[in-house]
Copies of this chain bind each other. A is one copy, B any other.
Amino acid sequence: MSLSDDSRYLRGGPVAQRIIAAVREDATIAKAEGFPPKLISITVGDTDAVDVYVRNQRAKAQLAGIDFEERRFPATITSGELEAAIHGLNADPRVTGIIIQRPVPAHIPIKMLQAAVHPLKDVEGMHPASIGNIVYNQLDLAPCTAAASVELLKETGLDLKGLEVVIVGHSEIVGKPIAFLLMSEGATVTVCHHMTRSVAAHARRADALFVAVGKPRLIKADMVKPGAAVIDIGINSEVGPDGTSRIVGDVDTDSVKEVASWITPVPGGVGPLTVAILLRNTMVALSRQRALYEATYGTSDRLAAE
């Protein structure tokens, strides 16, 4: 890889480090003031598939000075019992945020669980009210992957006001939230998906192109406007010519990087940033909770509320 190639890459790692350092500062102050931030991770059933993610969240939380506690529930639990457990955590003033690790067993409706988390403790930004708040221009707590993607676009230094943005993929927790976040920042946003007549026609006019559809190498060089910023949110497993499996994005990085001015590598782009955003969300949740204590009890002292 030549040096000039390298400068086109929007890497998540350095941005994540910067965010985690800022969170650590805030967390240290909050702890000294009697409000240690604390995350609860909920896993249900067989946890092998998610263990690597949870370990990574725990390690980053520790780095940021945020307590991280795991609650593991058996696959046989009912959704009613899980909801009750979440309501208990909602009511516990020591708990700042609740993470529901996916997947959960098929008999548990995941949306119901996400909606059971109190909006004030919804650090994943998945509750309908959290999504609605973004629409109402309250942008500081958004779904982690969406917020991470927008954060990387901001790294380019491009002026978001009037920027022509095209998003390929209209999922509820990635494509759509990216759209509202950028609408609120003043961008002109188009959302494409599998029913769009010509994704290429839209993609080619984008100053910033976001792709989150889970189709390896969908976006080729001829679909990208010269000089564009390309944010690749896809994570696909592909068997390479040498027979080994590797991770590739939704963008054909090798060809597109010759056309784009900025491109996120996969892996190493949006991925490393999502946990940093989760931790930043935790501090946003904590400060909202503290504001509520103060409004309700007329004091910033949490002990008065317990």
Cβ 8 A contact of A191, one of B128, B189, B196, B202: B189
Which A78-100 residues have a C-beta within 8 angstroms of B?
none
Q: Check A183 against B176 for contact (C-beta < 8 Å).
A: yes
Most buried by B among A111, A130, A188, A202: A188
- Chain B: which residue is nearest A170 at the CB level? B183
* CB pairs A–B below 8 angstroms (6 shown): A128-B128, A131-B132, A164-B197, A188-B190, A188-B191, A188-B197
- Chain B: which residue is nearest A194 at the CB level? B186
* 0/1 string, A165-205, CB within 8 A of B gives 1: 00000101000110110010011111111011100001000
- Interface of A, secondary structure class, is mixed
Cβ of A75 within 8 Å of any chain B Cβ, yes or no, is no
Q: In the complex, what's the smallest C-beta–C-beta distance from A291 to chain B, in angstroms?
A: 13
Cβ of A127 within 8 Å of any chain B Cβ, yes or no, is yes
Q: Check B135 against A135 for contact (C-beta < 8 Å).
A: yes
Total number of A residues with any Cβ neighbor in B under 8 Å? 34
Cβ of A72 within 8 Å of any chain B Cβ, yes or no, is no
Contacts of A288 in B (CB 8 A): none
* 0/1 string, A104-146, CB within 8 A of B gives 1: 0000000100000001000000011111110111000000000
Contacts of A170 in B (CB 8 A): 183
- Chain B: which residue is nearest A190 at the CB level? B190
On A, residues with C-beta under 8 Å from B are 111, 119, 127-133, 135-137, 161-162, 164, 170, 172, 176-177, 179-180, 183, 186-193, 195-197, 202
Q: In the complex, what's the smallest C-beta–C-beta distance from A166 to chain B, in angstroms?
A: 9
Contacts of A164 in B (CB 8 A): 197
Contacts of A111 in B (CB 8 A): 136
Contacts of A132 in B (CB 8 A): 127-133, 135
Q: In the complex, what's the smallest C-beta–C-beta distance from A188 to chain B, in angstroms?
A: 4
CA distance A177 to B193 in the complex (A): 18
Q: Check A162 against B128 for contact (C-beta < 8 Å).
A: no
Q: In the complex, what's the smallest C-beta–C-beta distance from A178 to chain B, in angstroms?
A: 12
Contacts of A191 in B (CB 8 A): 179, 183, 188-190
Known: A128-B129, A129-B128, A180-B176. A195 touches B161 (CB 8 A): yes
